[in-house]
Structure 1
Amino acid sequence: MTTFDYGPIEFYAVAFDGDRPGPAVLKAVDDLVAAGTVNVLDLVFARRSPEGELEILELSDTIDDGDVPPLDMAGLAGEDDIAELAAGLEPGTSAAIIVVELLWAKAFASALYDAGGAVIAREGVPAPIVNAFLAEHAD
């Protein structure tokens, strides 16, 4: 069986009011890593000034105590990726741009590859929409 060094990865842009997300965001990411759900390959923050300028902040720029957690591939999200993901960011808001390896899907990706299969489309639905829909259609 094929064994990949990495599983599938996903890029996320998660918007927040204000100029940067709070420490709870890093805690939530830490919890996912500790549970073995994801491996964080890159994490940067972007903020759009009230004037509309986009500023990119490295993780080390956002942590006050200088204790920056190690990332597997810091810099994987390039400036073009970040600009594209942050394109909808409103003035006065910020976003966490996170690149994660989906550890739960690593073995599945290997099995698909060995079987000659390939993922040809993938669609995500945000949790608030899923929960609202299911609550509306619950018996």
Structure 2
Amino acid sequence: MQMMTNFDYGPIEFYTIGFDGDRPGPAVLQAIDDLVDSGTVNLLDLVFATRAPDGELTVVELSDTTDDAGVPALDLMGLAGLDDIELLAENVPPGRSAAILVVELLWAKAFASALFDAGGSVINRAGVPAPIVNAFLAEHVE
């Protein structure tokens, strides 16, 4: 009988989410918390980046915030390094901010193990943001 690989972690993804103000509102943090509570993702890291009007980037780790009320718990704080953060935040325009999330895709963990055991690997992955999907489908699907 062949042993099945059991990875400790599934695939992870980095997201840069732009918004006005210096932090996302409570509804965004609640939505992240809901994904964690449902077992869909595991929040590994969360960083806030703000670009001043002069272009200077300020980075605040979630652990550095003084008001953690309503903020989801992190599993691997500090996973996003400064180089990652600067690269992910390079398109944040002056006067705007971003939340940089690192999430483990729990739903894909078992699939990743099975794929590995079968000698397969993900060669490419592309994502399409929900607003684009919905706009396209609204125009093309009856």
TM range (shorter): over 0.9
> Equivalences for 1:60-75 in 2 at 5 Å?
60-62=63-65, 64=67, 69-75=72-78
Query: CA-atom RMSD, angstroms?
Result: 1.5
Distance in 2 (CA, whole Å) between partners of 1:15 and 1:120 is 28
Q: TM-score, normalised by structure 2?
A: 0.92
Give the corresponding residue for 2:136. Answer: 133
Distance in 1 (CA, whole Å) between partners of 2:53 and 2:21 is 10
1:108 to 103, 106, 111: 111
1:33 to 33, 36, 50: 36
**Cα deviations by residue, 1:60-94 (Å, 9 ceiling, x for unpaired):** 44452567643111000000000000000011111
Shift of 1:22: 1.4
1:51 to 54, 65, 68: 54
Q: Does 1:88 align with 2:96?
A: no
Q: TM-score, normalised by structure 1?
A: 0.94
Secondary structure, counterpart of 1:32 in structure 2 = helix
**Unmatched segments (≥5 aa) in structure 1:** none
Distance in 1 (CA, whole Å) between partners of 2:109 and 2:58 is 33
**Contact 1:60/1:66, CA 8 A, preserved across alignment:** no
Matched letter for residue 30 of structure 1: D
Which deviates further from its counterpart, 20-29 or 30-39?
A: 20-29
Shift of 1:25: 1.7
Distance 1:24 1:66, change over 3 A: closer
Paired residues, number: 139
Q: Which runs of 4+ in 1 moved over 6 A?
A: none
Which deviates further from its counterpart, 103-112 or 18-27?
A: 18-27
Distance in 1 (CA, whole Å) between partners of 2:69 and 2:40 is 26
**Unmatched segments (≥5 aa) in structure 2:** none
